[in-house]
Amino acid sequence: MSKVKKAEQTQEDWLIAALKKTDRAKMRGRIERVTKLYAVNAKFDSKKKVITIGLANGLSFSFPPKLVEGLSRRSAESLSCIEISPMGTGLHWPKLDVDLTVEGLLSGMFGSEKWMLRQHLAKAGSVKSVAKSKASRENGAKGGRPKKEERISSN
């Protein structure tokens, strides 16, 4: 196959792949429009310290900003400035440069996968259990946590 034909084939393959993505996106958009799971309003309630999203189907949901990557420990002023994407599928905080999808929030995705994993592991490490309590009592009866042995460095 000549270089020209190969280049034409590559362009054609790229175009076909792009059209498939477009078709999938259009289908997804139709589903979102039918189910009306897109935002029509969004606000930060500084008294309750929650962000409330109103959906086109009449439902609304709220969440505390402390649960969301990029929104925790931010000022009420910066949290109050929320932009809704033209299709209503995304939310943007321009003062914070934070973007979230309505679908992600509804499914419990409050940040990147890496950030969500870190949050989960932090909570998992602080869980109290019967086994941890028992081990703690046993260590306490022995005089507490064993001291680390000092290492003598050889120079």
Predicted confidence (pLDDT) per residue in 99-135, tens digit: 999 988 988 888 888 888 888 888 776 767 788 778 8
* Best CA proximity match to 105, nearest among 95, 90, 115, 92: 90
Residues 25 and 45 in one domain: no
- The total number of structural domains in the chain stands at 2
49-77 pLDDT, tens digit each = 999 999 999 999 999 999 999 998 999 99
E strands in 1-149: 39-45, 50-55, 60-63, 83-84, 90-93, 98-101
pTM for this prediction: 0.60
> For position 71, which CATH number holds?
3.30.2020.40
Average pLDDT, the chain: 84
